[in-house]
Amino acid sequence: MIEKVEFEGFNYIDGGVCAAQGFKANGIQCGLKHEGSVNTTKKNDLAVIIADKECTAAAVYTTNKVKGAPIQVTRENIADGKAWGVIVNSVNANTCNADGVEKAQKMCELVSEQFDLKPSDFIVASTGVIGQPLPIRPIKHGMHKLCQGVSYTGNTEAVNAIMTTDTMPKECAVEFELGGKKCVMGGMLKGSGMIHPNMATTLTFITTDAAISHEYLQRALSDVVKTTLNMVSVDGDTSTNDMVCVMANGMAENNMISMDNEDFAQFENALFIVMVNLARMMARDGEGATKLIQCVCAGADSVQTAQTVAKSVITSSLFKAAIFGEDANWGRILCAIGYADADFDINNVGVRIASKAGKITVCENGAGVEFSEEEAKKILMEEEITILVTLGDGEYNATAWGCDLTYDYVKINGDYRS
């Protein structure tokens, strides 16, 4: 299990999307399955999050030209910057179907009836197999049980309902202060494969009891996603259903955040902490993965250059395979740096490989240096591997996260629909 990143002034707590006051959740197994499936698992496949009061809402979505129907419906529903809750299913992505929008709207209608709200009060999301009609009957039959069972401790059932090929639930929550008021932010994420986000990544739901305007909530989310979830890659495939949503109910009673000030900066820090930990969990749980890879690129002439180089390294299939084999084949790292779409002098580049077992330099000034293969092997045997790249061109840096490429990745995706 990957350890959480520590930040001064922020305390990690349990509870995920239910950690902040005023949020309930639940998840059930309603019986969804795709055509031809022989899967008899009783894993949860339908989840709901509901707030005690109307929330300010913001979201970012996939840039894939093929978009799941739930994205279209959610865009319309939270165009006013408001939401009361989330309804989400796994197993079926409700994408590339003629009746997809109708089904997504129906999910909102069914859940709204249970809470005496409007269909437009809900964010709707789906994940799973693309291109198969979503069966609405199991969702309809399970909706009453789902909604009747919501609780302030229902985050575990909810996060289990959004997992597909995920092998572990991904949750994070922190306590922090805004103007002397204790606030909480928590979230849950699903993601294991088809991960190479642009604007968003997989399905991520974040809740907070802080008070913040829609404009500044959207601004914070759009900023933070660039340095967290958008810096993750498992396999280079950008999903059709990627969505990150944040709901803020204001129950912490802090002064409303509606301008650039210390409170807004602190809120962004909290959002970064939640999202960077979820990003790291997702990278470690990449399909078939055995290791988390973190690439830190420093000494760049711009943030964009640093981000481009860092992500180029963690997306290299050859490098990812070498990490799986615990082989210090540093040439593959330099190769990936070399084809990054950015301007820098390759003759200034240095590379070090690090983990809890130690740190070793493998490249200086664009050329290899002598190092102990035995020592390198010990470093690469750890679960979390860090690649430290220096460009020698400036003062900017960036971090990207990925995972190793294993035999199991092909096995999982070779028979995903069965």
Q: Which of 55, 32, 57, 56 lies closest to 43, judged by CA? A: 32
Grouping H, G, I as helix, E, B as strand and the rest as coil, residue 349 is: coil
Q: How far apart are the first and last CA of the chain?
A: 28
> For residues 215 and 404, what is the distance between their CA atoms, to the nearest angstrom?
38
- How many helices (H) does the chain have, and how many strands (E)? 11, 15
> For residues 353 and 370, what is the distance between their CA atoms, to the nearest angstrom?
13
**Can 202 be counted among the known catalytic residues?**
no
Q: Which of 198, 403, 392 lies closest to 287, judged by CA? A: 403
> For residues 50 and 52, what is the distance between their CA atoms, to the nearest angstrom?
7
Query: Where does 116-175 have alpha helices with state H?
Result: 136-148, 155-161
| Buried b / exposed e along 231-260 (16+ C-beta atoms within 10 A) | bbbbbeebbbbbbbbbbbbbbbebeebeee
* CB 136, CB 103: distance < 8 Å: yes
* CB 227, CB 274: distance < 8 Å: no
> For residues 217 and 405, what is the distance between their CA atoms, to the nearest angstrom?
36
Which member of 62, 74, 201, 207 is catalytic? 201
Beta-strand relationship, 203-208 and 358-364: unpaired
Please name the residues in contact with 129: beta carbons below 8 A apart, sequence gap of 6 or more.
34, 91, 92, 93, 416, 417
Q: Which of 237, 234, 242, 224 lies closest to 74, judged by CA? A: 242
Catalytic (active-site) positions: 201
